Amino acid sequence: MILIKNAEIHTITNGILKNASILVENGKIKEIGQEITVEDQVEVIDSAGKMVTPGLIDVHTHLGVYEEIVGPAGADGNELTDPATPQVRALDAINPMERGFVDAIQAGVTTVQVMPGSGNVIGGEMLVIKTFGNIVDEMIVKSPSALKIAFGENPKKVYGGKNKMPASRMGLAAVLRENLVKGQNYLRKLELAEKDPDKAPERDLKLEILAKVLKKEIQVRAHAHRADDIVTAIRIAKEFDLDLTIEHCTEGHKIPEFIKQSGFRVSVGPTMSSRSKIELGDKGWHTLTTLAEHGVPFSITTDHPVVPIDYLITATATAVAHGLDEQLAWEALTINAAKHMKVEDRVGSLEVGKDADLVIWSGHPLYQHQSQVEATMINGQFVYRKS
């Protein structure tokens, strides 16, 4: 057992506890409070003057599938041979020994969602993992966590340049609809086969994942920057009754009430990036503050490696400096991020029974920019301690 005592504990869901302690046992949080009685064999960490938060969560990354330093040899995030590749899995491309995982741990990021890129209309399966380990299968929190789809300039650029559909936003939406209809037809065959096994269709990995999407067994995450692309994503989600999240949501501030009425969650970012393409022309911290004003639940993302993952807390601190409420900012990095991926039963807040993923900070990282991560714990194990 490990006892972290005398800290300012930000539970996220149950307020801030001053001069409090948190007891960890067997990878889980066993107890939180001002007075905890422990046995002699417990390792005690005196964190007087320190701040403890849940481990940070980045809901939208390409960590390990786009490796830094190595260039094209480590670029495994897009299978650009067909605009619809639902059967590919980010799981099979992650290198957990890539440097980005070290950066994540040292920056207090303990859980990430790793996904294919946005070069295809349907990019493939994504998954949620912890950021510590050498075997990706042992790091999994949820797999698959969703299917990646993409709107806007990226698929247009890839396939328009090949003189192949989709070369327009019309074509992009059509490719998506065509594949979802194929999924519906496959699903009907599966339903018929339940009554008559002789009618079972030949197994099709592409259609299997689309059938799960249509049954809402897994979510769909839609890369969409521009307001009109966000609307198209929501239109198609309603047409096929999909469980959708909007990723990036760069122009979400232009249609906040429409997004709120849709009931879908969004992730916002990478706001710290450059305006590298026309879709990012109106990016800014005002997206977050406007969504907050309208009650749209959001998470904050780096889109690593677009913005390095160790800048997740920096991006959030900058958002707070531009008017984002502090509590909403913390929720965007923790419990809202967990809900975005439907893993809030395990991570996202400091509560008894949840995974012991936490960060000890030297000071308040949203206001004191010199604050540093002093220790990062994942599954009850210290995976980083500042020397």
pLDDT exceeds 80 at position 40: no
Residue type (1 letter), 320: V
Q: What is the pTM of this model?
A: 0.97
pLDDT exceeds 80 at position 275: yes
Joined together, the tokens standing for residue 260 give 């709120």
Q: pLDDT > 90: what percent of the chain?
A: 95
pLDDT exceeds 90 at position 343: yes
- Cβ atoms of 151 and 222 closer than 8 Å: yes
Q: How many CB atoms lie within 10 A of CB 37?
A: 7
Q: What is the pLDDT of residues 44-88, one digit of tens each?
A: 999 999 999 999 999 999 999 999 888 889 999 999 999 999 999
- Cβ atoms of 69 and 99 closer than 8 Å: yes
Q: What is the pLDDT of residues 118-141, one digit of tens each?
A: 999 999 999 999 999 999 999 999
Q: Mapping DSSP to helix (H, G, I), strand (E, B) and coil, where does residue 386 land?
A: coil
Q: What is the pLDDT of residue 35?
A: 84
Q: What is the pLDDT of residue 41?
A: 84
Instruction: Tell me the Cα Rg of the chain.
Output: 21
Higher pLDDT, 198 or 172: 172
Q: pLDDT > 70: what percent of the chain?
A: 100
Local confidence band at 37 (pLDDT 50, 70, 90 cut-offs): confident
Residues whose CB is less than 8 angstroms from the CB of residue 10 and which lie 6 or more positions away in sequence, other chains included: 16, 51, 52, 53, 54, 330, 350
Residues whose CB is less than 8 angstroms from the CB of residue 82 and which lie 6 or more positions away in sequence, other chains included: 120
pLDDT exceeds 80 at position 39: no
Domain boundaries, the chain: 1-55+349-387, 56-347
**Which numeric CATH code is attached to 1-55+349-387?**
2.30.40.10
Q: Mapping DSSP to helix (H, G, I), strand (E, B) and coil, where does residue 126 land?
A: strand
56-347 classified as CATH 1.10.10.10: no
Q: What is the pLDDT of residues 209-253, one digit of tens each?
A: 999 999 999 999 999 999 999 999 999 999 999 999 999 999 999
Local confidence band at 38 (pLDDT 50, 70, 90 cut-offs): confident
16 forms beta bridges with 10
CATH fold match for the domains 1-55+349-387 and 56-347: no
pLDDT exceeds 90 at position 387: no
pLDDT exceeds 90 at position 340: yes
The answer, yes or no, to whether the previous bond of 72 is cis (omega within 30 of 0) is: no
Q: What is the pLDDT of residue 199?
A: 87
32 forms beta bridges with 22
Mean pLDDT on 257-283:
97
- Cβ atoms of 363 and 51 closer than 8 Å: yes
The overall average pLDDT reported for the chain is: 97
Q: How many CB atoms lie within 10 A of CB 155?
A: 29
> Burial, 114: exposed, middle or buried (Cβ in 10 Å; 0-12, 13-18, 19+)?
buried
- Cβ atoms of 210 and 148 closer than 8 Å: no
**Cα 205–209–215 angle (5° rounding)?**
140
Distance CA 251, CA 281 (A): 9
